Structure 1
Amino acid sequence: MNVKICGMTSLEMTRGVIACNPDHIGFVFAKSRRQVSPDTVQSILNQLENEQVHIPHTVGVFANADTESLKPVMKSCTVQALQFHANEQLDICGWVKENSNMDVWLTLPISNVGKIDFEDELNHQFERLAKAAPYIDLLLLDTHDPVQGGGSGKVFQWDVIPFYQSRAQQLGMPLYVAGGLNPGNIGSLLSGYELDGVDVSSGVETDGIKDMSKVDTFIGRVRQHVHTRTSLPLS
């Protein structure tokens, strides 16, 4: 069970989050209150390397990306994965793979709709994914927001997760879940679903800033759940 803490904006914040031992940290290159530039991110990573800090797997998050907006990151920033939104042009995924060694993460937007509409949405999403699947390393479920796409901090209906798990397994891709997660509800999610990873940003913030107590509690509860699950005797 992996944990991604997204939305790093400063050296101090990044250093503090890393001390809590996440598996991934995310930097938002999309327009957002958490947006950072490639130069800022590289400056943070360089300083942490100088301090001999062990840096987790790094992810750069985009929205409505095109090749021109990706080039500065791919040229001057050493993030290890790029995260896109499935509503964007999926040929971006192939372009990244052809021009870099970076992993590609794809966010699938989840609307809180009725079951009939959901099945149509699911089928449509995976029909579109079929051709791009060879270029995608990981799928991430996040709540669809009509204004900002993902990153809304809202929870979607978790009972759709098994349908996506089945499709992700068919494609051989790990599945992560985001959307309104926080230290108070992460236990409920993990008690109901066996996921490959979870992703959180605003749920571990206080007044819009990463709260290291919340980050530590969130990660600790994920680790405790995994420990408890793996310690149970086989029936």
Structure 2
Amino acid sequence: MNVKICGMTSLEMTRDVIAYNPDHIGFVFAKSRRQVSPDAVQWILNQLQEEQVRIPHTVGVFAHVDTELLKPVIQSCTVQALQFHANDQLDKCRWVKENSNMNVWLTLPISNVDRIDFEDELNHQFERLSTAAPYIDLLLLDTHDPVQGGGSGKVFQWDVIPYYQSRAKQIGVPLYVAGGLNPDNINSLLSRYELDGVDVSSGVETDGSKDMSKVDTFIGRVRQHVRTRRSLPLS
């Protein structure tokens, strides 16, 4: 199970977070209080390489973006994946694959809808995804926010996760979960669902800045869950 720590904003923060061995780090290119420019991210990555720091898999996070704005990102920044929101960004998946070697992560916004309407919403989402599926490397569930799409720091109703796991398996991609995760609730999530990965940002912050004790605790609890699972006898 992989861990992504998102919202790196400085060299010092990125270096400190990497010390706790996350599998992915995320840089937010979308409008946000954590927004950083592709040039700034490339500078951070270059500095870490000069310091011979082992850099985990890097993800550049967008919400809604025009293709023209992606071109300089691909040309100037060596992040390994670009993350988009599914609502109106499906055309970007193919474009990125045809114009770069980057992976494509697609965020599926989860609304806390009535269960009567849920299956209709799920079917609609994956009908729209069908044409983009060959160009998607990973699906990420995050709580829907009407303003920014995701990144709200709020938890969605986890009981929908198995439905999305089944659909992700059908198209052959891993499924990660975000949305309000933190050191206090991560064990509850992992005790209920076997996930491919988890993604956290504000849940490991204090007063708007990454708190390394929370980063350490969050990653440690995920790693402990994996160790415990591996030690269990096969049924």
In the alignment of these two chains, the number of paired residues is 235
Q: How does 1:89-128 map to 2 (within 5 A)?
A: 89-128=89-128
Q: Is the 8 A contact 2:63 2:148 kept in 1?
A: no
Q: Is the 8 A contact 2:104 2:138 kept in 1?
A: yes
Q: Which residue number corresponds to residue 233 of structure 1?
A: 233
Q: How does 1:101-180 map to 2 (within 5 A)?
A: 101-180=101-180
SS of equivalent to 1:20 = coil
Q: Is the 8 A contact 2:27 2:36 kept in 1?
A: yes
Q: Which residue number corresponds to residue 40 of structure 1?
A: 40
Q: Distance in 1 between matches of 2:116 and 2:229?
A: 34
Q: Is residue 2:20 matched to residue 1:12?
A: no
Point out 4+ residue stretches in structure 1 off by more than 3 angstroms: none
5+ residue gaps, structure 1, are none
Question: Once the two structures are aligned, what percentage of the paired residues are identical?
Answer: 87
SS of equivalent to 1:59 = strand
Calculate the TM-score normalised by the size of structure 1: 0.99
> Which deviations, in whole Å up to 9, do the C-alpha atoms of 1:159-188 show, x marking residues without a partner?
000000000000001000000000000000
Q: How does 1:45-124 map to 2 (within 5 A)?
A: 45-124=45-124
CA shift at 1:72, angstroms? 1.4
Q: Distance in 2 between matches of 1:191 and 1:153?
A: 21
Q: Is the 8 A contact 1:65 1:88 kept in 2?
A: no
CA shift at 1:146, angstroms? 1.1
5+ residue gaps, structure 2, are none
Q: Distance in 1 between matches of 2:234 and 2:38?
A: 48
Calculate the TM-score normalised by the size of structure 2: 0.99
SS of equivalent to 2:132 = helix
SS of equivalent to 2:130 = helix
Q: Distance in 2 between matches of 1:89 and 1:61?
A: 12
> Which deviations, in whole Å up to 9, do the C-alpha atoms of 1:65-96 show, x marking residues without a partner?
11111111100100000000001231110000
Q: Which residue number corresponds to residue 30 of structure 1?
A: 30
Q: Distance in 2 between matches of 1:215 and 1:71?
A: 33
Q: Which residue number corresponds to residue 221 of structure 1?
A: 221
CA shift at 1:117, angstroms? 1.4
